[in-house]
Structure 1
Amino acid sequence: MKCRHFGSCGSCTLYDLSYARQLERKAERVRGLLRPYYEGEFDCFDSPVSHYRARAEFRIWHEGDACSYAMGNLSKEGSVTIDECPKVISAIDERMEPLLEAVNASPELSRRLFGVEFLATTTGECLITLLYHRRLEEPWIAEARGLQKRLKASVIGRSRKQKEVLDREYVTETLEIDSKKYQYRHYEGGFTQPNPFVNAEMIAWAKARAAEAGGGDLLEAYCGLGNFTIPLSIHFEKVLATEISKNSIRAAKENCALNGVENIEFVRLSSEEMTQALRKERSFNRLRHVDLENYDFSTVMVDPPRAGLDEATRALISGVGQILYISCNPETLARDLAELTRTHRVERAAIFDQFPYTEHVECGVLLARRS
């Protein structure tokens, strides 16, 4: 990838390395962290080198009457204006310049605009959220409707305690996993995997590992909108999937229906609450329709935030035969493996490069209970 803003924009910090060297450097780091727990080969999944990011957020910089896109600079002490971002997928890239032109041509659209968020799909859908430091009235709504039509995108306006949805507040992504197409509604403001190409590889890898579980039921914590849950469900009798976000649970249930899957129970619980419920330490109204005694978990899947797993969740899942752990932070994964490998051994490991040109890397491990 070539970008005119390498070295000034703070979004890409590994701009001075070839992509091959970036990937090698990340793999070395992950292998070093996990070496005490796994000495086998790693499955390694690279990314397209450009147009790979389906989510993007830009500041809006006002200079006189003109607006520009801006990002934090490399020194993290200010901002730099930009006129391109080659990492965003085509559905965003092709709309960035026309959107800015429309904003600069309209005092109603530009006045007190301070940010733009894009959410798009590999199939060309795009949702654009315009962020303001003012209340949005009917003149703005009229202008924004025209903008929607010109850009062939859905537009949302946000200001303090106000959200104006002009069309819809989601895009529908389609991913092909093992020759089967899965559809996902990605909502504005909700968590989605930013790199759909590597995300498909992550799901396929996890699905292949789940196929080795030999049936039974699946327990999943941090299920989000059902990104992994729905494809993996085919390999299990029943699935209990938990997530703290109310909006993510809503999206997960809609995605379940979109894909015609009927063996998943999505419940709004934090990982701590899930642990309390399964240990019968506490009862929850949200579980009143779920018979926990009816589950026989052969596999547990976790995809926690950067902080990793809490102690109680680690203790709970150590009693399950197979653990699938997807991690966005190799350091906390290594910390958790120090405990989990007391009862389990690491059978497979993978590296997923969702974030080219940055130090961030995702990884996954499959653990099996020791005899």
Structure 2
Amino acid sequence: MSRNRKAGTVTILPNLHIIDIAEEGKGVGKADELVVFVDKAVPGDVVDVRLMKKKKNFAEAVIEVLHTASEFRTDPFCQHFGTCGGCKWQHMQYDAQLQFKYKNVEAALQRLAKIDTSMMEPILGSAENKYYRNKLEYTFSNKRWLDKEDMGDQEDLELNALGFHVPGRFDKILDIQHCYLQAEPSNSIRNQVRAYALRTGISFYDLRNHEGSLRNLIIRTSSTGEVMVAVIFAYVEQQQIDGLMEYLKGNFPDITSLQYIVNQKKNDTIFDQDVVTYAGRDYIFEEMDGLKFKIGIKSFYQTNSLQAHELYKITRDFAGFTGDELVYDLYTGAGTIANFVARGVKQVVGIEYVPTAIEDAKFNSNLNGINNTLFYAGDMKDILTTAFIAEHGKPDVVITDPPRAGMHTDVVERLLELEAEKIVYVSCNAATQARDLALLKEKYEVTRIKPVDMFPHTQHVENVVLLNLIKS
């Protein structure tokens, strides 16, 4: 590699070859023993980079000159790319994204769990890689992120914004004009809500000082064509609330569920807040595999509806049900997987931490005429006890789909005690999944692995693993 050169206090590394891609969409290069993470670089690029931060063994940098563009590089399709916190792999061709997601899963399982990945199946790409999300949450702010063009013309500058957080700046919101993540009427609703608020003078929230009226906007859509809109206000001014609700009701008559929340806390969580249904139902319906699912504003449901169907089919296939199995579905959420597999087994027992999700799970079973499911709410490590297993029976198959943090060690230990014939482990974080698999290897052998891309243009990937009990 060429010698480094300094321009004043700026260090330039010339002709850096980008050999990999890491999280946050940063390309990876090596300068001697120094690992360099380069913003918006793609594997195959050859670049001069300017160091922004340097530690002992790694540095962060930005591209100064692009000498050779990678064969994987492509033009981003979104005007907000590079500033918005989402879709950070948009500058890389989708086939290449899949290739590197596969590689990242494989590396995590090999490095952290010492698993033989030779049986790993090809990654399943998403049929839709634009407008694939069924839920988005936008933030109001009176401190809009200003780019260089904005800074050049301060006269009559509008500082209110409705959009997404800028990475690393909790108080700065990028004003979104068009988002490619969710199909219409999402963009129209967001833009008209902003225009109405500006026209009528409703204040946008100050994220630092916790002042202002409008706080968040949540839009959920479904494959059935139904739409849910919820506006979160910080302070009660009923006239303002009614005005905006009536505006949405009149201008978007196809909204199935129109709701609002008044959240005066300093954090954005709404799970402990009352929801007021202004018009329509307090839920919408999603459909999958001939089943209907009730989705409320607080419900968990996979955000890529079409790909969720594929993910659950893979989960069912890995389990290889014959019709007589007792299944434990851990971290069941709204019972989507539990109800999805229930028709092909003897009974499903679902466990979930969030009580409202369990109520949704029970509702969904009743809605679909499913009478072989049982659901329990509580902390997994506290519910999955010896007494619980004695009451409900030893499962033949365990399906576990934990949050990004993976399973608590007490839960892993209980699974080892259970000795179910099969465990199907669905994960959105290959690293924590690998950590848990390393512990489960004491009694289980990994026999199938299949990554599933739920989130195009991001580094995130789901992974399904089948574990079979090792016969003594």
Q: What TM-score do you get using the length of structure 2 for normalisation?
A: 0.70
- Could you tell me how far 1:262 is from its partner in structure 2? 0.5
Q: Is the 1:210–1:235 contact (alpha carbons within 8 Å) kept by the matching residues of 2?
A: no
Q: Cα gap change, 1:162/1:237 in structure 2, threshold over 3 Å: closer, same or farther?
A: closer
CA distance in 1, matches of 2:188, 2:339: 31
* Corresponding residue for residue 131 of structure 2: 51
Q: Is the 2:141–2:162 contact (alpha carbons within 8 Å) kept by the matching residues of 1?
A: yes
Amino acid of the residue matched to residue 179 of structure 2?
C
Q: Cα gap change, 1:357/1:138 in structure 2, threshold over 3 Å: closer, same or farther?
A: same
* Corresponding residue for residue 287 of structure 1: none
Post-superposition, which runs of at least 4 consecutive aligned residues in structure 1 deviate over 6 A? 63-66
CA distance in 1, matches of 2:467, 2:344: 17
- Could you tell me how far 1:85 is from its partner in structure 2? 0.6
* Corresponding residue for residue 274 of structure 1: 383
* Corresponding residue for residue 188 of structure 1: 297
Q: What TM-score do you get using the length of structure 1 for normalisation?
A: 0.88
**CA deviations over 1:100-134 (Å, ceiling 9, x no partner):** 34444444697721221111112221111112221
Moved more, 229-238 or 108-117: 108-117
Q: 1:253 aligns with which of 362, 383, 392?
A: 362
Q: 1:298 aligns with which of 382, 396, 410?
A: 396
Q: 2:258 aligns with which of 155, 178, 196?
A: 155
- Could you tell me how far 1:364 is from its partner in structure 2? 0.9
* Corresponding residue for residue 309 of structure 1: 407
CA distance in 1, matches of 2:466, 2:438: 14
* Corresponding residue for residue 454 of structure 2: 354
Moved more, 158-167 or 298-307: 158-167
- Could you tell me how far 1:11 is from its partner in structure 2? 1.7
- Say which structure, 1 or 2, has more relative contact order (CA 8 Å, 6+ apart): 1
- Could you tell me how far 1:244 is from its partner in structure 2? 1.2
* Corresponding residue for residue 286 of structure 2: 173
- Could you tell me how far 1:13 is from its partner in structure 2? 1.7
Amino acid of the residue matched to residue 20 of structure 1?
D
Q: Cα gap change, 1:294/1:304 in structure 2, threshold over 3 Å: closer, same or farther?
A: closer
Q: 2:310 aligns with which of 180, 187, 201?
A: 201
Judging by fraction of residues, say which structure has more helix.
1
Moved more, 292-301 or 253-262: 292-301
Greater Rg by CA: 2
Q: Secondary structure at the match of 1:185?
A: strand
Amino acid of the residue matched to residue 158 of structure 1?
I
Amino acid of the residue matched to residue 258 of structure 2?
V
**CA deviations over 1:262-317 (Å, ceiling 9, x no partner):** 000111132112222xx13xx7xxxxxxx954534110111111111122211222
Q: Is the 1:7–1:15 contact (alpha carbons within 8 Å) kept by the matching residues of 2?
A: no
Aligned residues: 356
Q: Cα gap change, 1:95/1:127 in structure 2, threshold over 3 Å: closer, same or farther?
A: same
* Corresponding residue for residue 176 of structure 2: 82
Q: Cα gap change, 1:27/1:213 in structure 2, threshold over 3 Å: closer, same or farther?
A: farther
Q: Is the 2:355–2:378 contact (alpha carbons within 8 Å) kept by the matching residues of 1?
A: no
* Corresponding residue for residue 217 of structure 2: 116
Q: How large is the RMSD of aligned CA atoms in angstroms?
A: 2.4
* Corresponding residue for residue 89 of structure 2: 14
Amino acid of the residue matched to residue 227 of structure 2?
C
Q: 2:120 aligns with which of 28, 41, 46?
A: 41
Q: Cα gap change, 1:158/1:293 in structure 2, threshold over 3 Å: closer, same or farther?
A: closer
Q: Cα gap change, 1:143/1:98 in structure 2, threshold over 3 Å: closer, same or farther?
A: closer
- Could you tell me how far 1:44 is from its partner in structure 2? 1.8
Moved more, 14-23 or 57-66: 57-66
Q: Is the 1:60–1:114 contact (alpha carbons within 8 Å) kept by the matching residues of 2?
A: yes
- Could you tell me how far 1:220 is from its partner in structure 2? 1.4
